[in-house]
Amino acid sequence: MFSVSALVRLYRYPIIGHLAQRMVLRRGADIPRSVKIGHRVSFPHNALGTVLHPGTTLEDYVKVYQNVTIGRGNIWLDYHAESRLRFTVKMGAILCAGCKIICSEDELVVGKNTVIAANAMLTRSTGDNEIWAGIPARKIRDLGVGSEQTTIINSPSGKTFEID
C-alpha cells in the first residue's frame, strides 16, 4: 500500500490524483487537492485524523504529524468569504501531533523551522526558528540558529542539516 505522503504526491495528475485523494480520505485524512505541497513534505503516522484547509501551502521539508487541523476560526462566515483565507507553513516547520492552526483573518504564516508543540492551538502568525506551545499558543523559546545565512532543515529521516 501507498503511504499518505506518496498518495499526496500523485495529486498533481488529473485522474490518478482524484483516486489518490479518495484513498487518502479512506485512510482518515482530509487533504484537499488544492493544498500546495512542497518537496519532501512528510506525514508520519500516515496523517491519521489530519484535516487541512483548501487554502494551505506546505513548503519543502515540512513534517505534519497525526491529528493536525488547519482551518478557519470564523465559522459564521459563508464559504465564499472563507476563500480569502491562506495558511502558509514555511520550510522545515514541524506541526506536532494534535496541534490546531486556526485563523480568522486573511493569512496565517508558520515561520521557517518553527515547531508547533503537541496539542497547541495557534491563532496568529509566527516568526522563524521558534517553538510555540499552549492553548492559545505562545512563543516559549527561540531555536538557537547561529548566523542568519544558516538554515536548519528537518529531513523526513529526522536528521538535521545545516545549509549555507
At 1 the pLDDT is 63
Q: Which of 126, 115, 123, 122 is nearest to 160 (CA)?
A: 115
pLDDT band at residue 126 using 50, 70 and 90 as cut-offs:
very high
Give the containing element (helix H, strand E) for 129: none
The type of residue at 105 is E
In tens, the pLDDT along 39-78 reads 999 998 888 899 999 989 999 999 999 999 999 887 776 6
- Judged by DSSP in three states, 147 sits in coil
Q: Following CA atoms 56, 59, 63, 68 in sequence, which dihedral angle do they give, to the nearest 10 degrees?
A: -10
pLDDT at residue 161 is higher than 60 = no
Cis ω before 32 (30° cut-off from 0) = no
Phi-psi region of 95 (alpha: psi -120 to 50; beta: other; left: phi over 0): beta
- Judged by DSSP in three states, 27 sits in coil
At 127 the pLDDT is 92
In tens, the pLDDT along 130-158 reads 999 999 999 999 987 654 444 555 555 55
At 147 the pLDDT is 45
C-alpha–C-alpha distance, residues 131 and 144, integer Å: 11
Note the pTM of the prediction, 2 decimals: 0.82
